[in-house]
Structure 1
Amino acid sequence: MASRVLSECGIRPLPQNFPRPRTGLISNTTDPTKIKFLHSNKKVKDLKFPSISNPSRFPRERNWVLKVSAPLKVPSVDGEERGGRINGDNGIEDETETEFNPGMPPPFKLADIRAAIPKHCWVKDPWRSMSYVVRDVAVVFGLAALEAYFNNWLVWPLYWAAQGTMFWALFVLGHDCGHGSFSNNSKLNSVVGHLLHSSILVPYHGWRISHRTHHQNHGHVENDESWHPLSEKIYKTLDSITRSLRFTIPFPMLAYPFYLWNRSPGKTGSHFDPNSDLFVPSERKDVITSTICWTAMAALLVGLCFVIGPVQMLKLYGVPYWGFVMWLDFVTYLHHHGHEERLPWYRGQEWNYLRGGLTTLDRDYGWINNIHHDIGTHVIHHLFPQIPHYHLVEATEAARPVLGKYYREPKNSGPLPFHLIGDLTRSLKQDNYVSDTGDVVYYQTDPKLTDSSKLK
């Protein structure tokens, strides 16, 4: 029941002011500037697209509108281009004909975004990466030493908040090792990743492999691995208590350890089991290595309980660990949920890597941005996870003119990101499940679970 309570979410229908997602495509009109989209095999609507000339030259203004060049063909689901010009009759865009629909294929390709990012943003500097490790580890031990020395109950809550945040920062650096954005040396990445992740009870290779699956299938209803939506069928199998708890704070924010052991509803396997269907046979040795490292860390923590006492260990490590878990679930959930406009999820031929990646969100965490290594700058990270974290902000600024309305500007944060708590609570109430059918789907809300008056 715990894994069902503490797992991923579900989806809502497309708002009525948007055209419904297409389920078919016909182009038998004699006018090549029109493409007809078939709606539920009943109605056909004509959509005109803007005139497009050159995909590589985009103005770098902050408030970009779709008045720029784009490819002459719409990218298909497999990365190829499918035929059909999307230019207008006279090269002039008519914004009144159609509103922006986030579920439609974008008028640019992944290569267009890549070309806009400066070359130096792809360079990995292992010395710079290691400097962040040294900084974070020094802060962690410094905080523990100071609090152990003072041992003051007035200061403990501040220590727990600060140390939990630093554990989360260590996780992000280990996350970079898993992506290979830490350095070009795979052995260095593995050693540093094991040290960082094992210290906070994360099986490095087990998590690295499942996280790779998340990136390769982001935005796919069934195949995504992290916070993927519950289908309506699975949602209806949950008992009422489980449904209520899994959408009620703080329970979803405590999900991560349970996910590591048992994944989420509809999926089986453990990040600690080398025979899990998460892994292929060639990865089993890596999984065993990480499980051994995790076990060694757990044994060390038990030993320290005998040395300094279980209560002291709970205060020094246990509470910050759960603070780290809440940070992880909070941040990763908001990467894919909680925007004012409903974001699409895909199935079948409607999904491709680019469209799935464009459903992710950037978030502003104020002072925490630097502490957790700009992981809130998440859209470009999802599309190009090999970019080091210290180049993500610059890469995002360069790519925004290409992304246009497919990039959703994050709300500015104060020193601390308290504004995101509202986005989290609203999304948990609204985003319950997705339809079992349809290749472009949106979160739906269970009216029995949440009073509709509270959603306004």
Structure 2
Amino acid sequence: MASWVLSECGLRPFPKIYPKPRTGMGSLSCGSPSRLTVAGTDLGSCSLIGIRERNWALRVSAPVRVPSVGEEEEEERESINVVNGDGDEFFDPGAPPPFKLSDIRAAIPKHCWVKDPWKSMSFVVRDVAIVFGLAAVAASLNNWIVWPLYWLAQGTMFWALFVLGHDCGHGSFSNDPKLNSVAGHLLHSSILVPYHGWRISHRTHHQNHGHVENDESWHPLPEKIFKSLDNVTRKLRFTIPFPLLAYPVYLWSRSPGKKGSHFDPNSDLFVPNEKKDVITSTVCWSAMVAILAGLSFVMGPVQLLKLYGVPYAIFVMWLDLVTYLHHHGHEDKLPWYRGKEWSYLRGGLTTLDRDYGWINNIHHDIGTHVIHHLFPQIPHYHLIEATEAAKPVLGKYYREPKKSWPLPLHLLGDLVRSMKKDHYVSDDGDVVYYQTDPKLAGTEK
């Protein structure tokens, strides 16, 4: 989502031992059956979707030349384990990993790449049925003991609908682009998300995960931008619950330091051949707004607020919470990259898995996030198996999530701690860590 939250870690001087990363300039769909070779590079079972000129804007969700897929490294990797003066091993999360993206891919069973449209649609039917069932029960009982429970349950189900639409945007819902688009529009428009507008910006997020300037969702604020914000704005951006309500604002105006709207086909977010897609999604979004306006006349604005408005706000909080915690809040400081130090693999390895207890199944295992970021074409129902298969390759670069109680209340503590520490990164340096503003942290003397 936005560039709003940042942390306590400044630029750390690393020895210049990193190999030169190779960044992608197009996109591909990593399904399974056929193999593809581009510029002498075997990309494995991937199909080319399109090469774009715009900065980091790629067609689906992985670069054409993903770093090290099917390639031999041009330089030897430095060891990530350094023995310190006490004889203990020190793991440097900002050092280049001793494995390649192709090594991770090879460890994942082939069937994990197979997309089953019937299975995907069964999840849609399940979730939509629950949404209407919850609304019918709440409306019929209509008492103030039931309504708060309904809001929490229905807001969580709205979030589940979003995750299924998210899969449509990645193409992991099915191999049929038309089915993905129709299902994506229905799912996302119903919760006031412009499907194509969001899909394109989210693609940019995946293409540039871990990059300070080019990432699109909850990336760090550089120090200069952070210090240019007035005190009230800074306070709001890093004080709960305001950051958890950021998503609608982001859709209209993006993050600090970035311009454009997800509803405007002429926005900097999009290239000319995407205008029709953006217009289609904006029209669908407008149609949903019109439906809601009509319902407010039929059932009254208060009833609509109870049935739809409050659950929508809960959904927005889920979206911001989950997106933020997949990129922030680990007890160890994680790097962000710029310039030649960034690569698709290194950026993806800074993402985090999270355990949501009972919610894992409800929101389609989106907490299994590291493998999703590296290989967004894997369907959500294969992510857990794919992650288990990849763990031996990832080693210490995989951070085991803390086990949750039935409800993931422990994550609120991680969120609050991160909001107090993770504020901005240095304007200089290619490997940087969050730093803390003493005023926001409450530590200024």
Relative to structure 1, is the Cα distance of residues 431 and 331 closer, same or farther in structure 2, using a 3 angstrom cutoff?
Answer: same
Shift of 1:267: 0.1
- More deviation in 444-453 or 191-200? 444-453
In the TM superposition, residue 245 of structure 1 has moved relative to its aligned partner by 1.2
1:321 match: 312
What is the aligned partner in structure 2 of residue 431 from structure 1?
Answer: 422
Match of 2:246 in 1: 255
Aligned partner of 2:299 in structure 1 is: 308
Which runs of structure 2 are paired with 1:126-137 in the superposition (5 Å)? 126-137=117-128
| Residue in structure 2 matching 1:389, options 380, 394, 419 | 380
TM-score by length of 2: 0.85
1:10 counterpart = 2:1: no
2:40 maps to what in 1?
none
**Which ranges in structure 2 are unaligned for 5 or more consecutive residues?**
20-66
| Aligned-partner Cα distance in 1 for 2:315–2:134 | 15
Describe the superposition over 1:153-182 as per-residue Cα deviations: whole angstroms up to 9, x where unpaired: 111000000000000000000000000000
Please say if residues 11 and 445 of structure 1, whose CA atoms lie closer than 8 Å, have aligned partners that are also in contact. yes
1:156 lines up with 2:147 in the alignment:
yes
Q: Which residue in 1 is equivalent to 2:192? A: 201
Which SS does the other structure have where 1:127 is aligned?
Answer: helix
Cα deviation per residue 1:304-356 (whole Å; 9 max; x = unaligned)? Answer: 00000000000000000000000000000000000000010000000000000
**Aligned in 2, Cα 1:393/1:76: closer, same or farther, shift over 3 Å?**
closer
Task: Indicate which of 278, 284, 287 corresponds to 2:269.
Answer: 278
Q: Which residue identity lines up with residue 198 of structure 1 in the other structure?
A: S
Which SS does the other structure have where 1:99 is aligned? strand
User: 1:98 deviation in Å?
Assistant: 4.6
TM superposition shift of 1:93: 9.5
Unaligned 5+ runs, structure 1:
28-74
> What's the offset of the Cα at 1:453?
9.2
Shift of 1:448: 2.1
TM-fit CA distance, 1:24: 2.9
Q: Structure 1 residues 275, 447: closer, same or farther in 2, change over 3 A?
A: same
Deviation at 1:244, TM superposition (A): 1.1
CA distance in 2, matches of 1:86, 1:124: 37
Query: Partner residue of 1:144?
Result: 135
1:85 is displaced (CA, Å) by 6.4
Q: Is the CA contact 1:77–1:349 (under 8 Å) kept in the aligned structure 2?
A: no
| Structure 1 residue 452: Cα displacement | 3.2
Alignment of 1:350 onto 2:346: no
Q: Which amino acid in 2 is paired with 1:446?
A: D
1:53-90 CA distance string (max 9 Å, x none):
xxxxxxxxxxxxxxxxxxxxxx78997723246589xx
Residue 360 (structure 2) pairs with residue 369 (structure 1): yes
> Is the 2:223–2:427 contact (alpha carbons within 8 Å) kept by the matching residues of 1?
yes
Match of residue 434 from structure 2? 443
**Is contact 2:68-2:101 (8 Å) kept?**
no
User: 1:81 and 1:418, CA in 2 relative to 1: closer, same or farther beyond 3 A?
Assistant: same
Q: Sequence identity of aligned pairs in percent?
A: 78
Match of 1:72 in 2: none
Tell me if the contact between 1:23 and 1:438 (Cα under 8 Å) persists in the aligned partners.
no
1:166 matched residue in structure 2: 157
Q: 1:179 is matched by which residue type in structure 2? A: H
Partner Cα distance (2:17, 2:321) in 1:
39
* Alignment map for 1:110-129 (pairs within 5 Å): 110-129=101-120
Cα distance in 2 between the residues matched to 1:276 and 1:229: 22
Q: Structure 1 pair 190/77, CA: closer, same or farther in 2 (3 Å)?
A: closer
Residue in structure 2 matched with residue 108 of structure 1 by the alignment: 99
Residues 174, 93 of structure 1: alpha-carbon distance in 2 compared, 3 angstrom cutoff = same
**Does structure 2 conserve the Cα–Cα contact (< 8 Å) formed by 1:147 and 1:159?**
yes
Tell me if the contact between 1:129 and 1:183 (Cα under 8 Å) persists in the aligned partners: yes
Matched to 2:131, the amino acid is V
Task: Determine whether 1:81 maps to 2:73.
Answer: yes
CA contact (8 A) 2:210 2:347 kept: yes
Separation of aligned partners in 1, 2:134 and 2:79: 60
Q: Given that residues 113 and 403 in structure 1 are in contact (C-alpha distance below 8 angstroms), is that contact kept between their aligned partners in structure 2?
A: yes
The whole-number CA distance in structure 2 between the counterparts of 1:79 and 1:269 is 37
Distance 1:435 1:93, change over 3 A: closer
Matched, 1:225 2:216: yes
- Please give the residue correspondences for 1:26-105 in structure 2 after superposition, counting only pairs within 5 Å: 81-84=73-76, 86=78, 96=87, 98-105=89-96
CA contact (8 A) 1:11 1:435 kept: no
Q: Structure 1 pair 135/84, CA: closer, same or farther in 2 (3 Å)?
A: closer
Cα distance change, pair 152–79 in 1 and its aligned pair in 2 (3 A) = farther
How large is the RMSD of aligned CA atoms in angstroms?
2.4
Structure 1 equivalent of residue 55 of structure 2: none
Rounded Cα–Cα distance in structure 2 between residues aligned with 1:396 and 1:447:
38
Alignment CA distance shift 1:274-1:87 (3 Å): closer
SS in 1 for 2:440: coil
> Equivalents in 1 of 2:375, 2:283: separation in Å?
31
* Maintained 8 Å contact 1:23/1:439: no
* Correspondence for 1:176: 167
Task: Give per-residue Cα distances to partners, 1:240-275, cap 9 Å, x unaligned.
Answer: 111111100000000000000000100000000000
> Given the superposition, is the C-alpha separation of residues 333 and 120 from structure 1 closer, same or farther in structure 2, using an over 3 Å criterion?
same
Distance in 2 of aligned mates of 1:87 and 1:215? 27
Please state whether the residue corresponding to 2:441 is helix, strand or coil: coil
Is the alpha carbon distance of 1:326 and 1:86 closer, same or farther for their aligned partners in structure 2, counting shifts above 3 Å?
closer
Distance 1:430 1:228 in 2: 14
Instruction: Call closer, same or farther: CA 1:132–1:439 in 2, change over 3 Å.
Output: same
Could you tell me which amino acid in structure 2 is paired with residue 83 of structure 1? E
